[in-house]
Homo-oligomer: A and B are copies of this chain.
Amino acid sequence: MPLDRSLISGLALFAEMTPAEQEDILAKARSSRHPKDAVIFAQEEEAHSFFVLLAGHIRVVKTTPDGEQVIARYINEGELFGIAPAIGRTTYPASAIAAVDCVALAWPTRLWSDFASSYPSLTSNTYATVGRRLQETQQRVVEMSTEQVEQRVAHTILRLIKQAGRKTPEGIEIDFPITRQDIAEMTGTTLHTVSRLMSAWEDEGIVVGGRQKVTVSDPHRLMLIAEHRRKR
């Protein structure tokens, strides 16, 4: 069945395209549903498709040869993912896993170069995204190099509530299930240390924990922890 243009007309990525162009792109897309925990694509796999996430949240994970995992980022609604072809790769550099039930649009990789030449706004938006991710990743390197674990975890949680926060009576909550282990894999520490930190913060009334859930009740104080300088 044909896809409705309203699916993508609201996304910044396609905002500068005409309705006809949007129809054209949609006509070539295939929509896909992915239940929670499904592997949408796997690291090292041939990059058959690239995607736009319409609904849900996706975890992008790198696995090392000896089985350790690092979360590269979370993808939010409206974002591109799996854009290996755009950066000159033929395999995916990481795996994408549905953090909740997800809906995405997918296009065969081989269409990328057609799209790139036909729709300059798509190209420039894509590269702006890649550039932004490069910035974010560099920032993460800086944090890992210069901050203590406590500050890194605080920064990471603040970033999560900023990009996927939802207001609740108790504070701002991360909109998808996330474990202590996940937070550890985003910050380069262990689930034990994350658990200890969050327990301490909970005692101080800064956050409210829960199974696969984090709610920040006092963002300001969490910011103070994140910015706290112990030296100098």
Task: Identify the A interface with B (CB < 8 A).
Answer: 62, 64, 66-68, 70, 72, 86-89, 93-94, 117, 120, 124, 127-128, 130-135, 137-138, 140-142, 144-146, 185, 188, 229, 231-232
**How far, in Å, is A143 (CB) from chain B's closest CB?**
9
Chain B, residue nearest A84 (CB): B131
A138–B139 Cα distance when bound, in Å, is 11
Inter-chain contact B62/A188, CB cutoff 8 Å:
no
Inter-chain contact B72/A141, CB cutoff 8 Å:
yes
**How far, in Å, is A47 (CB) from chain B's closest CB?**
12
**How far, in Å, is A139 (CB) from chain B's closest CB?**
8
**How far, in Å, is A7 (CB) from chain B's closest CB?**
25
Main secondary structure of the interface of A (DSSP, over half): helix
Inter-chain contact B127/A86, CB cutoff 8 Å:
yes
Chain B residues, CB < 8 A from A66? 229, 231-232
Chain B residues, CB < 8 A from A72? 138, 141
Chain B residues, CB < 8 A from A117? 120
Q: Do A87 and B134 contact each other (CB < 8 Å), given the known contacts A66-B229, A66-B232?
A: yes
25 pairs, A vs B, C-beta closer than 8 Å: A64-B146, A66-B229, A66-B232, A68-B146, A70-B141, A72-B141, A87-B131, A87-B132, A87-B135, A88-B124, A88-B128, A88-B131, A89-B131, A89-B135, A93-B138, A94-B138, A117-B120, A130-B130, A134-B137, A137-B137, A137-B138, A137-B141, A140-B141, A141-B144, A144-B188
Inter-chain contact B130/A134, CB cutoff 8 Å:
yes
Inter-chain contact A70/B131, CB cutoff 8 Å:
no
Chain B residues, CB < 8 A from A70? 141-142, 145-146
Chain B residues, CB < 8 A from A94? 138
Not counting A137-B137, A137-B141, a sample of 12 additional A-B residue pairs whose C-beta atoms are within 8 angstroms of each other reads: A64-B142, A66-B229, A70-B142, A70-B145, A86-B127, A87-B128, A89-B131, A117-B120, A134-B137, A141-B188, A144-B188, A145-B188
Inter-chain contact B87/A130, CB cutoff 8 Å:
yes
A143–B115 Cα distance when bound, in Å, is 35
Q: Do A131 and B131 contact each other (CB < 8 Å), given the known contacts A144-B141, A145-B185?
A: no
